[in-house]
Structure 1
Amino acid sequence: MSISHTRALLLGCALLSVGQNLSFDAYAQSAQTSDDTHVIRDEIIVTGSPFRAKTSENLAGVSVLTSEELLQRMSGSLGETLKFEPGISSSFFGPGASRPVIRGQGGLRVLILDNGISSIDASSASPDHAAAVEPAMAERIEVIRGAGLLRYGSAASGGVINVIDGRIPDKVPANKISGAARVSASSVDRSFEQAAGVDMHVSKLGKGDVVAHVEISHRKTKDYDIPKFSRSQALRTQDPLPVGQEETDRLSNSATKATSVAGGISYIGEHAFIGGAIKDLNSTYGVPGGEGSTIRLDQTRFDANANWEFLDGPLESLNISGGVADYTHSEFEASGDVGTIFTNEGWEARVEIVQSEIGIWHGAHGVQLKKRDFAALGDEAFVPPTTTREFGLFSFHEFDFGDVHLEAAGRYEHTKHTNDTAGIVQSYDGYSLSAGLDYHIFANTKLGGTVFRTERSPTSEELFSNGPHLATNQFERSDITLGKEVARGVEASLRYTDGDNQLTLNGFYTDYQDYVFEANTGGIIILDGGDELPEFVFTPADAVFKGFELQGKKHMGTISGFDIHTDASLEYVKATISGTTTNILSNRLPRIPPLGYSFGLDADRDRWGFRAELSHAVRKDALADGELPSDSYTLVNAFAHYDINDVMSVRVAVMNIGDRDARQHTSFLKEVVPLPGRNFRISLEALF
């Protein structure tokens, strides 16, 4: 057994030793946050359950990043912001485009929501496409792992991420006005970022209140510094360049710039609210490791939300929400010419009702409608213009027997793809079910489990792609005969909570029938001009994903007035395939994260707070066809913050203190794009 795996097992042993009625009156109250950010909070989650369950009550693996945690983890992309959470990595296509990878699954199998509505962009079509959400403005981010989230669709077998920024106000500021502002700078990319948001009480209107929200953020970074070589040791050995031609010290074409502006207004009554918001996002970023291409992303979207709570009768609440967006994504060649333009005009609407409790039974039901007009025009138009319509019905049920809690959910989904160019219409009907229970073994220990069967319809990219995809250096071919992807799985959890001490173990096993992935056929396609690309075909195969996440936190005591907390985590996922007819030598799926573990230490006293952490990824040498091994790496980070007064605070951080060469195995570009080197970051924040 390797030293890295031995350390991981020792960590696992160490971890195992650690041992309201909802009312719309809340809309007239200001939000409250705990002064002690290290106390184990039982957060209310809005993504995973229609019943606004707490994290301790959710049967799936749940992470909630609060505003305090986001200030510490903030990055320019969603993937980099979340990648330190257990079970999460990132696709890291440079700092401008980094999507979360959950339990080895990314792309379309990780659904990204913007305040509960799809992000309506092109980020799932290619790893160089950034998600049209801005983590700089998030109040909280919720991550739900597993396939039980049938409220939002059957495709999200990896998980669902909901970025909540509060741009549609749902409460009245306590002092007529409240807000936050932040400025920050980093050394590794010479970046500067500003962000501000404010809620304002505009006026009384009848028995309710009118509240407005305004927010703006701007971020600009330059090419970032790297520890040494841009190309990996494995690639330099396999394909050496002449002396002096290796790129070192700084990664070219990695600069980014993004601006987001949003405004919203709501009418908030005693037991209801209704509101809307508009947001405009503009982002420009380089795609490193290639031919010097640059991407400009523009999205304008409008969202609306209305919620009523009933004091009696058969219904507890009714929620109606929706969003419409116009998205354009332009890819510029190094010469400045436009190579490809992706557009997505889409909308989504949801209606959800929650029944009043009848004895031990609590139910919720909803309908979801979506439309997507997606097109790619230009040199890299590997997907023809396609219109996709979706219709979904879902139903959730809870049964509370005291120490035993049961859940069941079902979803019907109809998907229709229309390819006018080829005159093809493909329709699918999917049926998905899940059931679970948790049992309080002891007062502070709970055992839970979920079983599920989901059906996912193929996407337009899987059905109609046919052309060069230069971002991933592939010639992609679709398969019009693809059927539904069926997943059967089980997830188990064990949770121990005793004050500030917590231990959580999640294990999962998912068996896929006709799992769709891009298989290398071994063929070479010669393009006009003589360039060659390997041929990849969207291929169905049987696949198995299995793994676990283990996380523990412990209050160690008080030293010189400082409260000391420690935490540790261990995560592992394995993904294999079988039953494919393509010429595949390995049974491993590509870009699966390696085993990883982390340690952390927090010290807090009065206005001061300190944290040191270490994260390690073991060497990845269980590879898919065409992959090169990824070396192990260890990253050490340190954080400190000081509350100047009740309004102002300052934070400093040093990331990758050892200036280590680190490459994420989940990235298409890992051989040519390392993670940033040592970085000093400072930020000044104000809350009012």
Structure 2
Amino acid sequence: MGKDKARVWLVAAMMGGMVAVSPAMAQQEPAADGSAHDRVEEIIVTASPIGAKRFDILQGTSSLSGESLDRALSTTLGEALDRLPGLSQSGFGAGASRPVIRGQGGDRIRILSGGIGSIDASSTSPDHAPALDLATAKRVEVVRGPATLLYGNNAVGGVINVLDGRIPIAEPKDGVDGFARIGMGSNANERSLASGIDARLDSPFVLHLDGFYRQTDDYKVPGYLESRILHEAEEAEHGHAHEEDEEAKGTVPNSDLRQKGATAGLSYIGDWGFFGVSASRLDSNYGISAGHTHEDEEGEAHEEEGPVRIDLGQTRLDLMGEVNQPFAIFETTRVRFGWADYKHTELEGGETGTRFLNKGWEGRVELVQKAMGNLSGAVGVQASGRDFQAIGDEAFVPASDTEQMGVFTLQRLDLAPFALEGGVRLERQNIQANGVGFDRDFTTVSLSAGASRQLGDGWMTGISLSRTERAPNAEELLSDGAHLATSTYERGDPTLGKETGLGVEATLKKSGGPVTGSVNLFLTDYDKYIYERITGAEEDGLPVAQFAATDARFWGVEVEAETVLVRNDQATLTLDGGMDYVRATDRDNEVPLPRIPALSARAGLGLELASVAARVEGVWTAKQKRTAEFELPTDSAMVFNASMDWHPLPERDITLLLELRNLTNEEVRLATSFLKDVLPQPGRDFRVSLRAGF
């Protein structure tokens, strides 16, 4: 208890010092590249087709680019974004970890590549990695909270958009623009390479090429793989713990990975806009770190035969264009289309087990309206198709085809100092599973409305209301089988209906000057919210996880803050911090929902000199004691990180990045993870990378 109190007081003191300097709260993420204070006017394209400034957006948003993105690079998307406010990760080892936003994950978070879905099987299971990587990305944008109006009913929890630059949208300034990066990490002996280039060919064509490679060994953890809490629970129930689990410590077996990818794109760029295409290939082979048992026909428990690995591959084609030629009431037309052939095989002891196949496509057209007085807006249409199959003895969901079609509009009325905005989306979804005689249609309607007021001196306050509808997916409807990745027997419910959420979000922001900031408060009540509930029954020696609908409530708060302590010709010293909290309840049964992140707080200090930028930060996560039935608590953790960027040649774009993650080798377990009690997060990791731009 004394250790936890000391950690709380340490972070509280760091944040308290910042608040003492100024009560304003920061909207942008800290950045050691000297650009943090110039970002308040940045455009978040993911949040609005009419080019909304970040300061004007009523929802919580975050973005990573430049050196901030370089510092975040990790083996999984979830780990890379874990430090952003309101975000956590599903924590399924070094190869697979999806982001979690405000306690919601899976099929409620849309992961996009350039505005189009990742077209993979990552929402099917937490051990399936998203088919994209940040190694060659130019920018990542996050919208926290419902984004259903623009991206469909699968975006009720938020959107993560990786802007990869596969299709050039402008000519490089000097005819050629590119980068090369090499990196290493000590914890898992990580080795990585990445490079990308945009080159002007015979005008008006621009060629894009990029590629990356990453390899790691098994990663190291501070102590035992099995948590203290699970160890004590097993002793209390059985009089002893599992001896093999008790002895496992230090290194996580079968946690190594190999990843590689390459892209080629070509654009035709003119005064009227651009049109381009790209082709890409991604391959990833990674181990599933946790072992699983199952019962044979006689009821005897057996371990799986050999380590389980996932061999993942995706071939993808993309098309994107924008025409700035007015017609009728519209001034800009944007077109986006993607097609992908995704396959992954679960290898058991080197032998082929279950195979997951997913062929899909998605397209959208946005028409941006001409300004009509103070009114601006856009209308659009989006459609997608998914042909999904799971083949093998452990296929827990039947083959299915899913089709979606949606139309939407978003409008904004500026009446300075007030602004009003609203939108509506109508969507149709059909799911067919011919093998089991299943065919259902769903129609969803989502609405939003918001109002904001500029208060002067850079202050803005606002409130937004939303009514969202989400249709169940094929996994929630049709699952029926052992899912060894999560050590459960999953059962869907083919009678599930759509869920409805009524939400409100209030925001207060401050921009400009030495102090910037934001506070976001949110509350959403769900009718017939669908989630996986552990029932207490067993099937094939595994606990039954039943997809069920209940009334639920999510509420929480996010605070960000940054202030300049010192700024002169030689140096800039900044202090930043924040906290986020979410509380989620099954209101029908008055019990907590499972796998909800705990309260977290962070504080950091950044120093910027002419050629060097350094940063230290502390991130504290509280103990998660508010757990669902059959779910164990999670201990608190205090993690310290440090980084330094050095630009040795001022006239050249060369950066040496030194980074130390988890300085004190703290044991970290994620309340959001199925594997939290048998798989801790990596321990201390020293990382170095050299990046050169040209």
User: TM-score if structure 1 supplies the norm length?
Assistant: 0.93
Query: How many angstroms apart in 2 are the aligned matches of 1:149 and 1:551?
Result: 25
Task: Please report how far the alpha carbon of residue 274 of structure 1 lies from its aligned counterpart in structure 2 after TM superposition.
Answer: 0.3
Query: How many angstroms apart in 1 are the aligned matches of 2:686 and 2:227?
Result: 24
2:202 counterpart SS class: strand
Task: Please report how far the alpha carbon of residue 35 of structure 1 lies from its aligned counterpart in structure 2 after TM superposition.
Answer: 6.4
Structure 2 residue aligned with 1:36: 34
Greater RCO, 1 or 2 (C-alpha within 8 Å, sep 6+): 2
Q: Deviations over 1:528-575 (max 9, x none)?
A: xxxx10111110000000001001000001489321011000110000
Of the candidates 563, 575, 589, which is equivalent to residue 554 of structure 1? Answer: 563
Query: How many angstroms apart in 1 are the aligned matches of 2:677 and 2:245?
Result: 18
Query: How many angstroms apart in 1 are the aligned matches of 2:661 and 2:12?
Result: 26
Q: 1:572 to 1:199 in 2, by over 3 A?
A: same
Query: How many angstroms apart in 1 are the aligned matches of 2:628 and 2:244?
Result: 31
2:544 counterpart SS class: strand
Structure 1 residue aligned with 2:140: 141
Structure 1 residue aligned with 2:668: 662
Task: Please report how far the alpha carbon of residue 579 of structure 1 lies from its aligned counterpart in structure 2 after TM superposition.
Answer: 2.1
Query: How many angstroms apart in 1 are the aligned matches of 2:215 and 2:12?
Result: 42
**Aligned partners of 1:412 and 1:430 also within 8 Å:** yes
Task: Please report how far the alpha carbon of residue 424 of structure 1 lies from its aligned counterpart in structure 2 after TM superposition.
Answer: 1.5
Structure 1 residue aligned with 2:182: 183
Of the candidates 314, 330, 346, which is equivalent to residue 329 of structure 2? Answer: 314
Task: Please report how far the alpha carbon of residue 39 of structure 1 lies from its aligned counterpart in structure 2 after TM superposition.
Answer: 1.9
Query: How many angstroms apart in 1 are the aligned matches of 2:455 and 2:533?
Result: 45
Q: Deviations over 1:455-514 (max 9, x none)?
A: 101100011110000000110111111011000010010001232411210010000000
2:68 counterpart SS class: helix
**Aligned partners of 1:199 and 1:213 also within 8 Å:** yes
Matches within 5 A, 1:462-541: 462-526=476-540, 532-541=541-550
Structure 2 residue aligned with 1:574: 583
Query: How many angstroms apart in 2 are the aligned matches of 1:470 and 1:374?
Result: 19
**Aligned partners of 2:363 and 2:384 also within 8 Å:** yes
Matches within 5 A, 1:232-631: 232-239=227-234, 240-242=241-243, 246-291=247-292, 292-310=307-325, 314-333=329-348, 335-526=349-540, 532-558=541-567, 561-579=570-588, 587-631=591-635
Query: How many angstroms apart in 1 are the aligned matches of 2:227 and 2:569?
Result: 45
Is it true that 1:674 corresponds to 2:674 in the alignment?
no
Query: How many angstroms apart in 2 are the aligned matches of 1:378 and 1:119?
Result: 24
Task: Please report how far the alpha carbon of residue 7 of structure 1 lies from its aligned counterpart in structure 2 after TM superposition.
Answer: 7.3
Task: Please report how far the alpha carbon of residue 312 of structure 1 lies from its aligned counterpart in structure 2 after TM superposition.
Answer: 7.4
Q: Deviations over 1:16-35 (max 9, x none)?
A: 5433xxxxxxxxxxxxx996
Structure 1 residue aligned with 2:70: 71
Query: How many angstroms apart in 1 are the aligned matches of 2:452 and 2:15?
Result: 23
How big is the alpha-carbon RMSD for the aligned residues of Structure 1 and Structure 2? 1.9
Query: How many angstroms apart in 2 are the aligned matches of 1:460 and 1:509?
Result: 28
Query: Which amino acid in structure 1 is aligned with residue 160 of structure 2?
Result: I
Query: How many angstroms apart in 1 are the aligned matches of 2:336 and 2:147?
Result: 21
Structure 1 residue aligned with 2:205: 210
> How many percent of aligned residue pairs carry the same amino acid?
39
Query: How many angstroms apart in 2 are the aligned matches of 1:138 and 1:578?
Result: 41
Query: Which amino acid in structure 2 is aligned with residue 212 of structure 1?
Result: L
Query: Which amino acid in structure 2 is aligned with residue 233 of structure 1?
Result: R
Task: Please report how far the alpha carbon of residue 14 of structure 1 lies from its aligned counterpart in structure 2 after TM superposition.
Answer: 5.9
Query: Which amino acid in structure 2 is aligned with residue 257 of structure 1?
Result: R
Q: 1:149 to 1:64 in 2, by over 3 A?
A: farther
1:651 counterpart SS class: strand
Q: Deviations over 1:142-192 (max 9, x none)?
A: 000111441111222211000011010001011111101100000000010
Q: 1:485 to 1:607 in 2, by over 3 A?
A: same
Query: Which amino acid in structure 2 is aligned with residue 352 of structure 1?
Result: E
Query: How many angstroms apart in 2 are the aligned matches of 1:592 and 1:340?
Result: 29
1:426 counterpart SS class: strand
**Aligned partners of 1:76 and 1:136 also within 8 Å:** no
Task: Please report how far the alpha carbon of residue 237 of structure 1 lies from its aligned counterpart in structure 2 after TM superposition.
Answer: 2.0
Q: Deviations over 1:629-674 (max 9, x none)?
A: 1111000011011112213221111111101111111111111111
How many residues align? The count is 660
Query: How many angstroms apart in 1 are the aligned matches of 2:502 and 2:199?
Result: 48
Unaligned runs of 5+ in 2: 25-30, 235-240, 293-306
Structure 1 residue aligned with 2:95: 96
**Aligned partners of 1:40 and 1:502 also within 8 Å:** no
Q: Which moved more, 1:121-130 or 1:307-316?
A: 307-316
Query: How many angstroms apart in 1 are the aligned matches of 2:609 and 2:443?
Result: 57
Q: 1:312 to 1:373 in 2, by over 3 A?
A: closer
**Aligned partners of 1:47 and 1:142 also within 8 Å:** yes
**Aligned partners of 1:8 and 1:570 also within 8 Å:** no
Matches within 5 A, 1:158-173: 158-173=157-172
1:108 counterpart SS class: helix
**Aligned partners of 2:127 and 2:485 also within 8 Å:** yes
Query: How many angstroms apart in 2 are the aligned matches of 1:316 and 1:244?
Result: 63
Structure 1 residue aligned with 2:57: 58
1:160 counterpart SS class: strand
**Aligned partners of 1:86 and 1:571 also within 8 Å:** yes
Task: Please report how far the alpha carbon of residue 40 of structure 1 lies from its aligned counterpart in structure 2 after TM superposition.
Answer: 4.3
Task: Please report how far the alpha carbon of residue 11 of structure 1 lies from its aligned counterpart in structure 2 after TM superposition.
Answer: 7.2
Moved beyond 4 Å, runs of 4+: 1-16
Structure 2 residue aligned with 1:27: none
Unaligned runs of 5+ in 1: 20-32, 527-531, 581-585
Structure 2 residue aligned with 1:638: 642
Query: Which amino acid in structure 2 is aligned with residue 223 of structure 1?
Result: D
Query: How many angstroms apart in 1 are the aligned matches of 2:600 and 2:570?
Result: 33
Q: Which moved more, 1:650-659 or 1:145-154?
A: 145-154
Q: 1:8 to 1:648 in 2, by over 3 A?
A: closer
Q: Deviations over 1:112-148 (max 9, x none)?
A: 0011000000000100000001111110000001114
Task: Please report how far the alpha carbon of residue 311 of structure 1 lies from its aligned counterpart in structure 2 after TM superposition.
Answer: 5.6
Q: 1:487 to 1:10 in 2, by over 3 A?
A: farther
Query: How many angstroms apart in 2 are the aligned matches of 1:458 and 1:53?
Result: 31
